[in-house]
Amino acid sequence: MKSITYSSPFPSDFVFGVAAASAQIEGGAFADGKGESIWDRFARSPGAIHGGDTLDVACDHYHRFDEDFGLMASLGVKHYRLSIAWPRIYPSGDGDVNPAGLDFYHRLFASMSKHGIKPWVTLFHWDLPQALEDQGGWTARSTVDAFARYADTVVKAFSGEVKDWITLNEIRCFTLLAYAYGLKAPGRKESAAVVNQTYHHALLAHGHGVRAVRMFGGEGARVGLTDNVDVSVPVTETPADIAAAKAWFADKNLHILGAIHGKGYAQAYLDRVGADAPLVEAGDFELISLPTDFLGLNIYTATYVRAGRQGEAYEAVQLPANYPRADSSWLNLVPQAIYWAPRMCHELYGYPSIYITENGCGYNEEPVVNGEVVDLHRRDYLRNHLREVHRAIADGVPIDGYFLWSFIDNFEWEDGYQRRFGIVHCDFQTQVRTPKLSAYYYADVMRLRTVL
């Protein structure tokens, strides 16, 4: 455990980085034998994506990665979280490996190494091969088997280049939002029983990711899950509101971190889902609960919680209509989220090492004027959040790193290219990159290891 005071810099080995994901920046959607992903397909269903945008070109990172890593390095970035596109490796999800897909990532890691940037690799960041979706996608247990083979292949292939692995990105987003609400690919609206089964399959896939890294990752390999926990923040930091926020947090995260930590579904969860409980096979939780090296948390926002006024364990507070938020309707500005989520994960589940694997904010209008983008709103967002990360470490919460989302404006899923999360502006017509004010701000933070 690193100890710092409220006024000292971040610990000397604290990791500062930036993050992105294959489907969102690569483009090259059908280059060199890549198969169709569920997002390639979803983007072609009318009305699914803002402006009818597709992932076909995105930031053209597929062809420009060397230039992009040069820009990263010039800003002092030494850690980059990226994901591997499953359909590049297995175009039909299963079956034969596509050597050109493996070759692309070998070239990409070589370029990162040349620029002094360390990879943190997510095995699955939502771009499921469409061929697997045609066989049921995450509702089908066969997808877990296909993921296990994909994870084995990827970890074996890149064990010399990659030491830090993340199994899955945000289970809720590719299950609940995709199979219950239909907001994300594949855009289905299934029953609670089916959706609960997708959670279970995702947990199993996570377990296989951990197993693959243990078996084939080589010396020094580490692995963890990146979860987007439902975050609660006490309205007032009193013991009563803190206890209430913690009880809410434990309840809302029972089906993912609660299940992993508890080595099975808690009775409270089984009571809640009743007849819609997922089917569990013998041995499932041995895999799901394999020990990991760290927990990744993507933190953007939170729900305010306080002690119930009628004596209930907790009460969530409805935000007023004019509460400040970014341009994404869900992104209410609650910087204390990044203090409380890691603290609760540490206290409730005992994680000894936590990385913030994403944190950032999205806005629509960020024009380049006289060669600059003055995104002071993002500078403020980062500053307020980094202060809370620092406060958490000073309070003894084991946060070992922070990855900003995102390095560059990219394909923001159903919000298309309109919603910009980058600290580097991307002109999607010309592919010109312009670092925003926030990029220069973050460069100073990384260099001085202090929230400025």
Would you call 133 a catalytic residue per the annotation?
no
Q: Is residue 412 a contact residue for ligand PNW (CB under 6 A)?
A: yes
Instruction: Give the gyration radius of the chain's Cα atoms.
Output: 21
Report in angstroms how near the CB of residue 301 gets to ligand PNW at its nearest.
6
Span from 110-118, 144-152, 168-176, 344-352 in contact with ligand PNW (CB under 6 A): 168-176
Q: From the candidates 26, 36, 358, 414, give the one annotated as an active-site residue.
A: 358
Q: Which is nearer to ligand PNW, 65 or 126 (CB)?
A: 126
The sign of the dihedral angle between the CA atoms of 138, 142, 144, 149 is: negative
Q: Which is nearer to ligand PNW, 133 or 358 (CB)?
A: 358
The least distance separating ligand PNW from the CB of residue 70, rounded to whole angstroms, comes to 23
* Residues 317-376 contacting ligand PNW, CB under 6 A: 330, 358
Q: Which stretch binds ligand PNW (CB under 6 A): 131-139, 165-173, 194-202, 389-397?
A: 165-173
**Which residue in 26, 36, 133, 170 is the catalytic one?**
170
- Should residue 53 be labelled a site residue for ligand PNW when binding is judged by CB under 6 A? no
Residue whose entry in the numeric block shows the structure tokens 């053209």:
60
Total binding residues toward ligand PNW, as defined by CB under 6 A = 12
Instruction: Figure out which of the listed residues 37, 198, 228, 303 binds ligand PNW, where binding follows CB under 6 A.
Output: 228
Binding mask 173-192 for ligand PNW (x = CB under 6 A): x-------------------
Sign of torsion over alpha carbons 125, 126, 127, 132: positive
Our finding on whether 169 is near ligand PNW (CB under 6 A) is yes
* Residue 405 interacting with ligand PNW (CB under 6 A): yes
Does 170 contact ligand PNW by CB under 6 A? yes
Q: Does 358 qualify as catalytic in the annotation?
A: yes
Residues designated as active site: 170, 358
Binding site residues, ligand PNW, CB under 6 A = 21, 169-170, 173, 228, 298, 300, 330, 358, 405, 412, 421
